[in-house]
């Protein structure tokens, strides 16, 4: 507990984007997330690490209410985005998800052209007034997704025809196109080869300039490479949350140490 209070004190000085307090998640009878509280900073990459089934992805999906699409899932506790409770009755998850975008484990471009993939979000949220604006948004997003140079000549080719790494960067560009404030990434590199992974990691680092990025990963090296803050989950509990360098060099909790040294997980 001593650790937590110290961390909290340190965090208060920074600009908080999301703060979760005492979050509990139940899947039917399973208690998937047990009393997790965490503060996520703006313009920072936060990594959630932990062994498979520790609840890190589940917790991530709470942050933009993707769990709403699963019938048996129940979420308790408070999650505040800029001080506003995202589970408040008045909140429309649709509007929330425009602000908190998400990138998934497996690249999932829509079976449409590259252009339409990117334009999808802006179109449904009505971000562009005309074709020229939309073109501009698409180009800007593809540039932010670091894929513009590779696809600019074939914007109307199907998105499914790209390679795995390109697809994932396309999906990131697609998420960026709706002007989100937070970007959630659920193991974005697990389906990619090392070269594509390197490209995506580089991109994540750039994205930090404009967004708060939360990334779930099962690779500790990746967490160490891309994140500034790291949270370690174990069996549905948040074990430790601190600066990445601190977690990897001098963890407080013995379980964290066992994990990063490869003894559990």
Pick 29 or 92: Cβ nearer other proteins: 92
Q: Identify which of 23, 50, 25, 54 has the alpha carbon closest to the alpha carbon of residue 39.
A: 23
Rounded to the nearest 5°, which phi and psi values hold at 185? Answer: -130, 120
Give the whole-angstrom CA distance, residue 234 versus residue 56.
Answer: 8
Token match 């998105």: residue? 159
The least CB distance from residue 102 to other proteins, in Å, is: 3
Which of 51, 60, 84 minimizes the C-alpha distance to 214?
A: 60
Which lies closer to other proteins via its Cβ, residue 96 or residue 204? 96
Q: Which is nearer to other proteins, 124 or 264 (CB)?
A: 124
CB 80 → other proteins: shortest distance, Å? Answer: 10
Closest contact distance (angstroms) between CB of 38 and other proteins is 19
Output 126 or 262, the one with its CB closest to other proteins.
126
CB of 247 to other proteins, least distance (A): 27
User: DSSP assignment, residue 214?
Assistant: E
Burial tier of 138 (Cβ tally within 10 Å: 0-12, 13-18, 19+): buried
Residue among 4 and 91 whose Cβ is closer to other proteins: 91
Residue-by-residue DSSP string for 132-200: HHHHHHHHHHHHHTT-HHHHGGGTTSBGGGS-HHHHHHHHHHHHHTT--SEEEEESTTTTS-HHHHHHH
| CB 221 within 8 Å of CB 201 | no
Residue whose tokens read 């513009």: 148
Task: Give the nearest distance from C-beta 234 to other proteins in angstroms.
Answer: 26
Q: Which is nearer to other proteins, 55 or 180 (CB)?
A: 180
The partner residues of 73 in beta bridges, in order of sequence, read 27
Please identify which residue in the block is written with the tokens 């484990």. 105
- The smaller minimum CB distance to other proteins, of residues 103 and 220, is found at 103
Q: What minimum distance in Å lies between the beta carbon of 216 and other proteins?
A: 14
Q: How far apart are CA 31 and CA 76, in angstroms?
A: 11
Which residues contact other proteins (rule: CB under 8 A)?
A: 64, 66, 69, 71, 81, 84-86, 88, 90-92, 94-99, 101-104, 106, 108-112, 120-121, 124-127, 129, 171, 174-175, 178-179, 181, 184
**Phi, psi for 75 (deg, rounded to 5):** -115, 130
> Please, what is the minimum distance in Å from the beta carbon of residue 28 to other proteins?
13
């Amino acid at each position: 507990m001593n650790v937590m209070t110290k961390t909290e004190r340190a965090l208060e000085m920074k600009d908080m984007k999301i703060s979760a307090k005492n979050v509990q998640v139940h899947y039917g009878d399973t208690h998937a997330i047990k009393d997790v509280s965490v503060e996520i900073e703006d313009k920072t990459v936060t990594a959630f690490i932990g062994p498979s089934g520790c609840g890190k992805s589940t917790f991530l999906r709470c942050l933009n209410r993707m769990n709403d699409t699963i019938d048996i899932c129940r979420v308790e506790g408070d999650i505040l985005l800029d001080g506003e409770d995202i589970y408040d009755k008045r909140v429309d998850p649709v509007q929330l998800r425009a602000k908190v975008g998400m990138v998934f484990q497996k690249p999932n471009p829509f079976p449409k052209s590259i252009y339409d993939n990117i334009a999808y979000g802006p179109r449904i949220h009505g971000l562009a007034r005309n074709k020229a604006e939309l073109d501009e948004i698409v180009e800007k997003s593809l540039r932010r997704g670091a894929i513009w140079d590779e696809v600019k000549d074939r914007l109307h080719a199907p998105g499914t025809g790209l390679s795995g790494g390109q697809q994932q960067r396309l999906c990131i560009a697609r998420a960026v196109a709706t002007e989100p404030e937070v970007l959630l990434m659920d193991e974005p590199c697990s389906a990619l080869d090392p070269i594509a992974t390197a490209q995506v990691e580089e991109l994540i680092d750039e994205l930090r300039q404009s967004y708060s990025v939360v990334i779930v990963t099962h690779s500790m090296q990746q967490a160490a490479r891309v994140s500034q803050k790291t949270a370690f989950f174990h069996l549905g509990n948040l074990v430790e949350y601190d600066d990445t360098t601190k977690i990897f060099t001098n963890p407080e909790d013995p379980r964290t140490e066992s994990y990063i040294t490869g003894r559990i997980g």
